[in-house]
Structure 1
Amino acid sequence: MTRPFRVLLVDDNVTDLLLATEAFLELDATVSVVTFASGQETLDYLHASAHENLPDVIVLDINMPVLSGFDVLRHLKDDPDLQLIPVVMLSTSDYLGDVSRAYSMHASSYLIKSRSFTEFVHQVDAFLVYWRKVMLAHQSDQTS
Protein backbone atom coordinates (compact mmCIF):
# COMPACT_ATOMS: atom_id res chain seq x y z
CA MET A 1 0.00 0.00 0.00
CA THR A 2 1.31 3.46 -0.84
CA ARG A 3 1.33 6.28 1.65
CA PRO A 4 -0.97 9.29 1.27
CA PHE A 5 0.13 12.17 -0.90
CA ARG A 6 1.29 14.91 1.51
CA VAL A 7 0.56 18.57 0.81
CA LEU A 8 1.61 21.45 3.02
CA LEU A 9 -0.49 24.60 2.48
CA VAL A 10 0.70 27.99 3.70
CA ASP A 11 -1.59 31.03 3.59
CA ASP A 12 -2.19 33.77 6.15
CA ASN A 13 -5.87 33.94 5.13
CA VAL A 14 -7.63 31.31 7.24
CA THR A 15 -10.67 31.28 4.93
CA ASP A 16 -8.44 30.56 1.93
CA LEU A 17 -6.75 27.76 3.89
CA LEU A 18 -10.09 26.19 4.71
CA LEU A 19 -11.35 26.48 1.12
CA ALA A 20 -8.13 25.02 -0.29
CA THR A 21 -8.20 22.15 2.21
CA GLU A 22 -11.84 21.51 1.29
CA ALA A 23 -10.93 21.45 -2.40
CA PHE A 24 -8.13 18.92 -1.86
CA LEU A 25 -10.25 16.64 0.33
CA GLU A 26 -13.28 16.92 -1.96
CA LEU A 27 -11.16 15.50 -4.76
CA ASP A 28 -9.39 12.85 -2.69
CA ALA A 29 -10.06 12.17 0.97
CA THR A 30 -6.78 10.23 1.23
CA VAL A 31 -4.65 13.33 0.63
CA SER A 32 -2.84 14.43 3.77
CA VAL A 33 -3.13 18.21 4.07
CA VAL A 34 -1.20 20.15 6.72
CA THR A 35 -1.85 23.88 6.94
CA PHE A 36 -0.06 26.86 8.40
CA ALA A 37 -1.02 30.52 8.53
CA SER A 38 2.51 31.92 8.68
CA GLY A 39 5.86 31.40 7.07
CA GLN A 40 7.67 31.10 10.39
CA GLU A 41 5.31 28.35 11.63
CA THR A 42 5.96 26.51 8.39
CA LEU A 43 9.74 26.70 8.69
CA ASP A 44 9.61 25.68 12.38
CA TYR A 45 7.47 22.64 11.49
CA LEU A 46 9.71 21.57 8.62
CA HIS A 47 12.88 21.89 10.70
CA ALA A 48 11.27 19.92 13.55
CA SER A 49 10.16 17.15 11.16
CA ALA A 50 13.71 15.79 11.06
CA HIS A 51 13.21 14.26 7.60
CA GLU A 52 10.10 12.37 8.67
CA ASN A 53 6.73 13.14 7.17
CA LEU A 54 8.06 15.92 4.99
CA PRO A 55 5.50 17.04 2.41
CA ASP A 56 5.58 15.87 -1.17
CA VAL A 57 4.85 19.43 -2.23
CA ILE A 58 4.44 22.82 -0.55
CA VAL A 59 1.78 25.25 -1.73
CA LEU A 60 2.89 28.69 -0.65
CA ASP A 61 0.98 31.98 -0.72
CA ILE A 62 3.11 34.95 -1.75
CA ASN A 63 1.54 37.81 0.21
CA MET A 64 1.93 37.11 3.90
CA PRO A 65 3.02 39.41 6.74
CA VAL A 66 6.40 39.09 8.50
CA LEU A 67 7.79 36.35 6.20
CA SER A 68 6.40 36.60 2.69
CA GLY A 69 6.10 33.56 0.48
CA PHE A 70 9.29 34.68 -1.26
CA ASP A 71 11.09 34.84 2.11
CA VAL A 72 9.95 31.31 2.94
CA LEU A 73 10.95 30.08 -0.52
CA ARG A 74 14.44 31.56 -0.04
CA HIS A 75 14.80 29.80 3.34
CA LEU A 76 13.64 26.49 1.83
CA LYS A 77 16.00 26.66 -1.13
CA ASP A 78 18.93 27.67 1.11
CA ASP A 79 18.42 24.63 3.38
CA PRO A 80 20.09 21.45 2.03
CA ASP A 81 17.55 19.30 3.91
CA LEU A 82 14.52 21.06 2.42
CA GLN A 83 15.65 22.46 -0.93
CA LEU A 84 14.42 19.52 -3.00
CA ILE A 85 10.81 19.74 -1.81
CA PRO A 86 8.80 21.11 -4.73
CA VAL A 87 7.26 24.51 -3.97
CA VAL A 88 4.25 25.83 -5.84
CA MET A 89 3.66 29.53 -5.38
CA LEU A 90 -0.06 30.29 -5.11
CA SER A 91 -1.35 33.82 -5.56
CA THR A 92 -4.12 35.90 -6.99
CA SER A 93 -1.34 38.02 -8.53
CA ASP A 94 -0.69 37.59 -12.21
CA TYR A 95 2.00 40.28 -12.08
CA LEU A 96 4.82 39.10 -14.37
CA GLY A 97 7.42 40.34 -11.88
CA ASP A 98 6.06 37.96 -9.21
CA VAL A 99 6.03 35.04 -11.63
CA SER A 100 9.60 35.76 -12.81
CA ARG A 101 10.83 36.20 -9.25
CA ALA A 102 9.28 32.88 -8.16
CA TYR A 103 10.95 30.95 -10.97
CA SER A 104 14.28 32.73 -10.52
CA MET A 105 14.17 31.58 -6.88
CA HIS A 106 13.60 27.98 -8.04
CA ALA A 107 9.90 27.63 -7.37
CA SER A 108 8.62 24.51 -9.11
CA SER A 109 5.47 26.18 -10.33
CA TYR A 110 3.36 29.32 -10.08
CA LEU A 111 -0.40 28.96 -9.82
CA ILE A 112 -2.72 31.94 -10.17
CA LYS A 113 -5.60 31.24 -7.82
CA SER A 114 -8.99 31.29 -9.48
CA ARG A 115 -11.58 33.54 -7.86
CA SER A 116 -14.33 30.94 -8.41
CA PHE A 117 -14.35 27.99 -6.02
CA THR A 118 -15.51 25.63 -8.79
CA GLU A 119 -12.63 26.72 -11.03
CA PHE A 120 -10.25 26.49 -8.09
CA VAL A 121 -11.33 22.87 -7.52
CA HIS A 122 -10.43 22.18 -11.17
CA GLN A 123 -7.02 23.79 -10.59
CA VAL A 124 -6.48 21.61 -7.51
CA ASP A 125 -7.52 18.52 -9.47
CA ALA A 126 -4.95 19.27 -12.20
CA PHE A 127 -2.39 20.01 -9.48
CA LEU A 128 -3.00 16.62 -7.80
CA VAL A 129 -2.85 14.69 -11.06
CA TYR A 130 0.44 16.34 -12.03
CA TRP A 131 2.23 16.10 -8.67
CA ARG A 132 1.10 12.52 -8.03
CA LYS A 133 2.61 11.52 -11.38
CA VAL A 134 5.84 13.27 -10.40
CA MET A 135 5.86 11.46 -7.04
CA LEU A 136 5.20 8.07 -8.66
CA ALA A 137 7.94 8.64 -11.22
CA HIS A 138 10.34 9.61 -8.44
CA GLN A 139 9.42 6.52 -6.41
CA SER A 140 9.91 4.21 -9.38
CA ASP A 141 13.31 5.82 -10.09
CA GLN A 142 14.37 5.10 -6.51
CA THR A 143 13.35 1.43 -6.71
CA SER A 144 15.04 0.83 -10.06
Structure 2
Amino acid sequence: MTHFKLIIVENDDDERFFMKEEFQAFGAFEILGDFINGDTLLEWMKEHPVDLPDIVLSDLNMPGKNGYDILSFIRSEPEYAHIRVVITSTSSVISVREKCLAMGATDYLIKPEIFVDYGAYVKEFYQKMERS
Protein backbone atom coordinates (compact mmCIF):
# COMPACT_ATOMS: atom_id res chain seq x y z
CA MET A 1 0.00 0.00 0.00
CA THR A 2 1.38 3.37 -1.05
CA HIS A 3 1.55 5.99 1.72
CA PHE A 4 1.02 9.69 1.14
CA LYS A 5 1.80 12.78 3.21
CA LEU A 6 -1.41 14.81 3.23
CA ILE A 7 -2.56 18.26 4.24
CA ILE A 8 -6.25 19.06 4.62
CA VAL A 9 -7.56 22.59 4.11
CA GLU A 10 -11.18 22.98 5.22
CA ASN A 11 -12.82 25.89 7.02
CA ASP A 12 -15.67 23.90 8.59
CA ASP A 13 -14.45 22.46 11.92
CA ASP A 14 -16.82 19.48 11.95
CA GLU A 15 -16.13 18.54 8.37
CA ARG A 16 -12.35 18.84 8.90
CA PHE A 17 -12.66 16.59 11.97
CA PHE A 18 -14.53 13.84 10.11
CA MET A 19 -12.19 14.06 7.11
CA LYS A 20 -9.15 13.67 9.38
CA GLU A 21 -10.67 10.72 11.20
CA GLU A 22 -11.40 8.81 7.99
CA PHE A 23 -8.02 9.55 6.41
CA GLN A 24 -6.24 8.40 9.57
CA ALA A 25 -8.40 5.27 9.85
CA PHE A 26 -7.68 4.33 6.23
CA GLY A 27 -4.01 3.87 7.13
CA ALA A 28 -2.34 5.14 3.96
CA PHE A 29 -2.10 8.82 4.88
CA GLU A 30 0.20 10.73 7.18
CA ILE A 31 -1.61 13.96 7.95
CA LEU A 32 1.00 16.69 8.23
CA GLY A 33 -1.55 19.32 9.16
CA ASP A 34 -5.07 20.59 8.82
CA PHE A 35 -5.78 24.23 8.16
CA ILE A 36 -8.82 26.52 8.06
CA ASN A 37 -7.88 28.32 4.83
CA GLY A 38 -5.14 28.98 2.31
CA ASP A 39 -3.58 31.76 4.37
CA THR A 40 -2.70 29.37 7.20
CA LEU A 41 -1.61 26.63 4.77
CA LEU A 42 0.77 28.83 2.78
CA GLU A 43 2.28 30.27 5.96
CA TRP A 44 2.92 26.72 7.22
CA MET A 45 4.46 25.63 3.89
CA LYS A 46 6.89 28.56 3.93
CA GLU A 47 7.90 27.67 7.51
CA HIS A 48 8.35 23.94 6.74
CA PRO A 49 10.18 23.74 3.41
CA VAL A 50 11.66 20.29 4.10
CA ASP A 51 8.45 18.63 5.28
CA LEU A 52 6.14 19.29 2.35
CA PRO A 53 3.12 17.11 1.58
CA ASP A 54 2.62 14.83 -1.39
CA ILE A 55 -0.98 16.01 -1.62
CA VAL A 56 -2.98 19.05 -0.53
CA LEU A 57 -6.71 18.37 -0.27
CA SER A 58 -8.42 21.75 -0.30
CA ASP A 59 -11.97 22.93 0.01
CA LEU A 60 -12.85 25.32 -2.80
CA ASN A 61 -14.84 28.02 -1.01
CA MET A 62 -13.32 29.42 2.17
CA PRO A 63 -12.78 32.83 3.70
CA GLY A 64 -9.31 34.23 3.07
CA LYS A 65 -7.32 32.38 0.44
CA ASN A 66 -9.62 29.80 -1.13
CA GLY A 67 -9.00 26.68 -3.21
CA TYR A 68 -8.39 28.67 -6.39
CA ASP A 69 -5.80 30.80 -4.58
CA ILE A 70 -4.05 27.74 -3.16
CA LEU A 71 -3.96 26.11 -6.58
CA SER A 72 -2.59 29.23 -8.26
CA PHE A 73 0.11 29.71 -5.64
CA ILE A 74 1.30 26.10 -5.58
CA ARG A 75 1.39 25.84 -9.38
CA SER A 76 3.32 29.13 -9.70
CA GLU A 77 6.11 28.28 -7.24
CA PRO A 78 8.80 25.89 -8.52
CA GLU A 79 9.52 24.49 -5.05
CA TYR A 80 5.85 23.50 -4.63
CA ALA A 81 4.87 22.64 -8.22
CA HIS A 82 5.34 18.88 -7.64
CA ILE A 83 2.65 18.80 -4.93
CA ARG A 84 -0.63 17.30 -6.03
CA VAL A 85 -3.60 19.55 -5.29
CA VAL A 86 -7.04 18.00 -5.09
CA ILE A 87 -9.94 20.42 -4.84
CA THR A 88 -13.06 19.30 -3.03
CA SER A 89 -16.43 21.00 -2.91
CA THR A 90 -20.15 20.45 -2.60
CA SER A 91 -20.51 21.96 -6.07
CA SER A 92 -21.13 19.54 -8.92
CA VAL A 93 -21.11 22.33 -11.52
CA ILE A 94 -19.02 21.03 -14.43
CA SER A 95 -17.56 24.44 -15.29
CA VAL A 96 -16.18 24.77 -11.73
CA ARG A 97 -14.54 21.35 -11.99
CA GLU A 98 -13.13 22.16 -15.43
CA LYS A 99 -11.74 25.49 -14.19
CA CYS A 100 -9.92 23.74 -11.33
CA LEU A 101 -8.47 21.09 -13.64
CA ALA A 102 -7.41 23.77 -16.16
CA MET A 103 -5.63 25.59 -13.32
CA GLY A 104 -3.62 22.45 -12.59
CA ALA A 105 -5.64 20.54 -10.00
CA THR A 106 -4.79 16.86 -9.90
CA ASP A 107 -8.46 16.11 -9.39
CA TYR A 108 -11.78 17.57 -8.27
CA LEU A 109 -13.92 15.55 -5.88
CA ILE A 110 -17.43 16.26 -4.69
CA LYS A 111 -17.84 16.05 -0.92
CA PRO A 112 -20.28 13.53 0.51
CA GLU A 113 -23.73 14.94 1.23
CA ILE A 114 -23.41 14.01 4.90
CA PHE A 115 -20.01 14.90 6.30
CA VAL A 116 -19.94 11.93 8.65
CA ASP A 117 -19.82 9.68 5.57
CA TYR A 118 -16.22 10.12 4.43
CA GLY A 119 -15.30 6.41 4.29
CA ALA A 120 -16.16 5.88 0.60
CA TYR A 121 -14.76 9.34 -0.24
CA VAL A 122 -11.36 8.47 1.27
CA LYS A 123 -11.26 5.13 -0.54
CA GLU A 124 -12.03 6.84 -3.88
CA PHE A 125 -9.47 9.54 -3.11
CA TYR A 126 -6.79 6.94 -2.38
CA GLN A 127 -7.50 4.99 -5.57
CA LYS A 128 -7.25 8.14 -7.67
CA MET A 129 -3.98 9.21 -6.04
CA GLU A 130 -2.48 5.77 -6.49
CA ARG A 131 -3.31 5.89 -10.22
CA SER A 132 -2.04 9.43 -10.84
Q: Same fold (TM over 0.5)?
A: yes
Rounded Cα–Cα distance in structure 2 between residues aligned with 1:4 and 1:104: 27
Deviation string for 1:28-81 (max 9, x for gaps)?
1x631120011111001111212x121111101000012111011111111111
Residue matched to 2:70: 72
Rounded Cα–Cα distance in structure 1 between residues aligned with 2:80 and 2:130: 19
TM-score if structure 1 supplies the norm length? 0.82
- Report matched runs for 1:19-34 at 5 Å: 19-28=18-27, 31-33=29-31, 34=33
Shift of 1:133: 5.5
Instruction: Report the secondary structure of 1:77's partner residue.
Output: helix
Stretches of structure 2 lacking an aligned partner (at least 5 in a row): none
Whether contact under 8 Å (1:12, 1:37) holds in the other structure is yes
Higher helix share: 1
- Report matched runs for 1:93-112 at 5 Å: 93-112=91-110
- Alignment-mate amino acid for residue 89 of structure 1: I
Rounded Cα–Cα distance in structure 1 between residues aligned with 2:48 and 2:56: 14
Rounded Cα–Cα distance in structure 1 between residues aligned with 2:117 and 2:35: 23
Q: Percent identity?
A: 25
**Structure ID, larger Rg:** 1
TM-score if structure 2 supplies the norm length? 0.89
Asked which structure has the greater RCO (Cα within 8 Å, sep 6+), the reply is 2
Higher strand share: 2
Whether contact under 8 Å (1:59, 1:87) holds in the other structure is yes
Equivalent residues, number: 131
Residue matched to 1:142: none
- Report matched runs for 1:53-68 at 5 Å: 53-68=51-66
Rounded Cα–Cα distance in structure 1 between residues aligned with 2:44 and 2:85: 16
Rounded Cα–Cα distance in structure 2 between residues aligned with 1:18 and 1:41: 17
